[in-house]
A = this chain, B = another copy of it.
Amino acid sequence: MGTTLKPAGETRAADVLARMRADIISCTLKPGAKLRFEALREMYEVSFSTLREALSRLVAEGLVVAEGQRGFLVAPVSLFDLNDLTDVRVLVERQCIKLAIDRGDDRWEADIMASFHRMDRLQSRLGASYYLSDEWAALHGAFHFSLVTACGSPNLLEIRQKLFERAHRYRRMSSQFRPQWRAKDVEHKMIMDRVIARDTTMAQDLVDRHIRETTENVIAHASHLFAQGGLGDRSSGADPVAAE
């Protein structure tokens, strides 16, 4: 612990943003919890304005919700949100995979294999409880990212990334209850093979199933932690009118 030293080049707001995002995803800040400024100011050692900036960005990322002029809340989790999130992820990820296979070059293939290898090695080293490790989660994220980088669409990738992080919070919620993750590593290898073989249809279907099965696992093991009601929040439900 001690005083956090300067984050090397980054602005302090960006540093707080990253730390808060990690804390929300890891459920150190619990879903639905009220975020009181005084407490956060102490926790992250920054001022009101800086906090407010980080909070504002997290709102746009969907990890925090703003309640009028009554402060901020960690975005609640719910069965409805998880299912919706999963459907949108499948749509986006299928398209990313398709485009990446169409457009990817040799370097892209090499990056995928390298990313898989890093993830796979750490998995072996960590043994049965690899899925609890934040380090493994990072490599897992990097592997899935490597599959789709070559899609060539910055907009799609940015949307994908935000959805992935929100889904990661759900995965994380269930991992503490799951004694061992079933053979996800085999799935990863199969996906990699089909992607590099440029088998678009099969690769898409595998990724689709990969996402949906993970969601089913979360529901089976962690849905008892979700907010009551089923269709949780109304939150930022998109405003009908655009400008002016």
Contact = CB atoms under 8 A, between A and B. Distances in A.
A28 B49 CA distance: 27
A88 B153 contact: yes
Contacts of A110: none
Contacts of A11: 68-69
B157 A88 contact: no
A88 B242 contact: no
Copies of this chain: 2
B237 A137 contact: no
Contacts of A88: 153, 155-156, 159
The residue in A85, A88, A153, A244 that gathers the most chain B C-beta atoms within 10 A of its C-beta is A244
A26 B243 CA distance: 8
A44 interface: no
B159 A159 contact: yes
Chain A's interface: helix, strand, loop or mixed, by majority? helix
Contact of A137 (B21, B92, B141, B244): B244
Contact of A25 (B141, B240, B242): B242
Given A11-B69, A60-B57, A154-B237, A244 B91 contact: no
A57 B58 CA distance: 9
A95 B159 CA distance: 15
Interface stretch (A32-40, A120-128, A160-168): A160-168
A244 B53 contact: no
Contact of A56 (B53, B68, B84, B145): B53
B22 A145 contact: no
A80 B145 CA distance: 22
The residue in A59, A60, A237 that gathers the most chain B C-beta atoms within 10 A of its C-beta is A60
B240 A142 contact: yes
A175 B224 CA distance: 52
Contact of A239 (B60, B161, B163, B234): B161
A208 interface: no
Interface of A: 11, 13, 21-22, 25-26, 49, 52-53, 56-57, 59-62, 68-69, 81, 84-85, 87-88, 91-92, 95, 134-135, 137-138, 141-142, 145-146, 149, 153-161, 163-165, 168, 172, 234-244
